Chains A and B, each alone.
Chain A
């Protein structure tokens, strides 16, 4: 019963954030579909937002939460433009596989 009344240490939130960020990086490296690669980037952004909110709690700083708000707005704009680019790439090359979109690869 004592466990239920306990407070959660902030370290666990930060650790969760670090693990989610690493999973995002791994997804960015192993996924072979352009859209899922983009989703991994969104996962990384979310993981960083979690640590912003955790640190805002730690230092009672409301600006940390406001920064997350701005990150969300910029991420929404970025998602719109990124998905438009994906549509344009699909129209030009007819595929979403990142292995075949290698025009700029050395």
Chain B
């Protein structure tokens, strides 16, 4: 069962990623990125990360991608024009990508001592515990401060997004002043 699930969703991942590159319309790219993220969520589940499976679907495939689709529609982004691209990308970028991929693949394929992933086994062998218990114990005791700092980060990000995306301040002031008159 496991190889079938792995190959099915790894195939979805790769197909979605390649489709993201081939599509010229941003909305199609966004939809294929949703396919990639949802298949990655299933792979997290196969690796015994139930919490990340839900978080990936809710945060990435849900919130972040809705934001992307929303911005694509808001800006009415049309078909992208094919250009030659920059010379630096062709001369340095693509050889660098191929080199990095070749090095990574050779290291990964020659690596010894890596486990095989067995379905249903998590990070703990204790039958009274589970991955979720383990994760929340570490997250809410040992790493409580970083967790709370993340909420401040998100608050600042919200303020920054509102400040950046709203209309120019002077124009808003002008509109208010003219409406007062």
Chain A interface residues (CB < 8 Å from chain B): 3-4, 6-16, 18-27, 29-33, 35-36, 38-40, 42-43, 46, 49-50, 53-54, 56-58, 60-63, 65-66, 68-70, 72-81, 83-88, 90-91, 96-97, 99
Tell me if A32 and B165 are in contact (CB < 8 A). Answer: no
Known: A60-B124, A65-B131, A70-B150. 6 other contacts (CB 8 A): A10-B117, A46-B37, A68-B49, A73-B153, A74-B150, A99-B83
* B positions within 8 Å CB-CB of A: 1-4, 6, 10, 13-14, 17-18, 20-21, 26, 29-30, 33, 36-37, 40, 43-44, 46-49, 51-52, 55-56, 59-60, 63-64, 67-68, 71-72, 74-75, 77, 80-83, 85, 89, 93-94, 97, 100-101, 104-105, 108-109, 111, 114-119, 123-124, 131, 134-135, 138-139, 143, 146, 150, 153-154, 156-158, 160-165, 167-168
Known contacts A8-B116, A13-B47: A43-B36 contact under CB 8 Å:
yes
Selected from A7, A29, A54, the residue in CB contact (under 8 A) with B118 is A7
Classify the interface of chain A: helix, strand, loop or mixed: helix
Assuming the contacts A15-B109, A27-B21, A83-B68, asked whether A57 and B161 have C-beta atoms less than 8 A apart, the reply is no
Bound: A20/B18 CA distance, A: 9
A10, A29, A46: the one contacting B89 at CB < 8 Å is A29
Q: Tell me, rounded to whole Å, the shortest Cβ–Cβ distance linking A80 to chain B.
A: 4
Q: Which of chain B's residues have a CB closer than 8 A to the CB of A50?
A: 40, 43-44
Q: What A residues does B20 contact at CB under 8 A?
A: 23, 27, 36, 39-40, 43
A69 neighbours in B (Cβ, 8 Å): 51-52, 55, 139
A57 touching B97, Cβ below 8 Å: no
Assuming the contacts A57-B48, A69-B139, asked whether A10 and B116 have C-beta atoms less than 8 A apart, the reply is: yes
Contacts of A23 in B (CB 8 A): 14, 17-18, 20-21
